[in-house]
Each structure stands twice: as structure tokens, then as C-alpha cells.
């Protein structure tokens, strides 16, 4: 009786086993990801009432000519500093939004940002238009 030498190993059953294990893993993972049911709180249907103690938003507009408007009122740089300082003294946090014309000198906008920094007004927004 001659002994038979096997030069290669048949890996097909092993690959089948791996594919079955992978399939079981995928099914178990997707089954556990569906989430937990939670009874979420409901909001009231009435509109939120404004908080009278909340600080008023300071809208600063710088036009093409370099004129500064604070809340639709033309002011000089010194008046802007005085009014923002008074608003900061009245409230710890004063939000400010700066709207600058596209053709405005950049230095005027930087001066206003520097002023806001010196007054420690940290809630600052720069208004822009979305790209078309």
C-alpha cells in the first residue's frame, strides 16, 4: 500500500466557515444598532417668550464710505465706543454683529473688532451672504 502525499490543502470549507461567521457578525451588528426606544419630552406649541433681561444685540454696520451705524443710528468711532461701553456695563455679555460692505476699507472693520476686544465683548458675529 502506497502512502498518498497531499501537496495542497483544500481551503474551500474554511472559506465557507469564514463567510458564515462574517454573515452572522453583520446580522448581529445591524440588529444591535437599531437603538433603544425612548419617550422623548415634548415642547410646548406656544412661541418662546423673549427674556427681557437678555442683552440686546448690538448691530454694527460699516458702509462703503466708512460710516459706522450702531443699531441703525450713525455714530462716530468715539460714540460707538461710549455706547458699547455703556451696554457692556449694563450686561456682562453683549452680543454684537458686524456687517461690513464688501468694498469697505478693511481697517475700519479691524478697528471695530479691536474696540470690541478691548471692551471684552466676546460674542461677535460677522454677517455674510451665502455663496451663489
- Site of grid cell 502506497: 2
The parent domain of residue 96 ranges over 58-126
Among 55, 132, 63, 71, CA closest to 103:
63
Cell readout for 63 is: 458702509
**Number of folded domains in the chain?**
1
Given this model, what pLDDT does residue 22 score? 92
Q: Note the pLDDT tens digit of each residue in 65-101.
A: 888 888 888 999 899 999 999 888 888 788 888 888 7
Given this model, what pLDDT does residue 103 score? 76
Low-confidence winner among 27-31, 93-97, 106-110, 118-122 (lowest mean pLDDT): 27-31
Residue 88 within a domain: yes
Q: Note the pLDDT tens digit of each residue in 8-18.
A: 778 888 889 99
CATH of the domain at 92: 3.30.420.270
Residue 96 within a domain: yes
Residue 96: CB partners within 8 Å, gap ≥ 6? Answer: 57, 58, 59, 60, 84, 116, 121, 123, 124, 125
Residue 117 within a domain: yes
Residue 80 within a domain: yes
For the cut 90, the answer to whether the pLDDT of residue 7 exceeds it is no
What predicted TM-score, i.e. pTM, was given to this entire model? 0.56
Given this model, what pLDDT does residue 36 score? 55
Amino acid at each position: 500500500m502506497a502512502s498518498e502525499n497531499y501537496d495542497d490543502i483544500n481551503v474551500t470549507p474554511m472559506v465557507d466557515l469564514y463567510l458564515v461567521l462574517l454573515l452572522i457578525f453583520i446580522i448581529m451588528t445591524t440588529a444591535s444598532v437599531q437603538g433603544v426606544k425612548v419617550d422623548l419630552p415634548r415642547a410646548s406649541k406656544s412661541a418662546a417668550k423673549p427674556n427681557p433681561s437678555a442683552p440686546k444685540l448690538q448691530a454694527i454696520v460699516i458702509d462703503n464710505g466708512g460710516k459706522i451705524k450702531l443699531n441703525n443710528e450713525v455714530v462716530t468711532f468715539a460714540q460707538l465706543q461710549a455706547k458699547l461701553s455703556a451696554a457692556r456695563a449694563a450686561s456682562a455679555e453683549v452680543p454684537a454683529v458686524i456687517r461690513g460692505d464688501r468694498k469697505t476699507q478693511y481697517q475700519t472693520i479691524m478697528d471695530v473688532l479691536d474696540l470690541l476686544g478691548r471692551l471684552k465683548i466676546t460674542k461677535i458675529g460677522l454677517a455674510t451672504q451665502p455663496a451663489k
